[in-house]
Structure 1
Amino acid sequence: MVFHDQQSVNDNKKQRYLSLLISEQIMTRARCEGNGRS
């Protein structure tokens, strides 16, 4: 059974938002570490 209700839509948006946040944090951390080394 597949439910295309508002809850699943919200979950998908939340997942995408979280993955964006996480990748952004990783990029920022890597950039900060790179600046610290040089």
Structure 2
Amino acid sequence: MRSSGTFEWTARRGPLVKYQCDPHAGTGMRGVLVVE
């Protein structure tokens, strides 16, 4: 994806969804979404 690109995704699970940037996971690019 280009730096100016967009991405859309719908969370189907919750309340917490863990995610990471696979190409940059070694540098700590990961987080948690809180689904309400």
Q: TM-score range by the shorter chain?
A: under 0.3
Which protein, 1 or 2, shows the higher relative CO under an 8 Å CA cutoff with sep ≥ 6?
Answer: 2
Structure number with the higher strand fraction is 2
In the superposition, the TM-score normalised over structure 1's length comes to 0.20
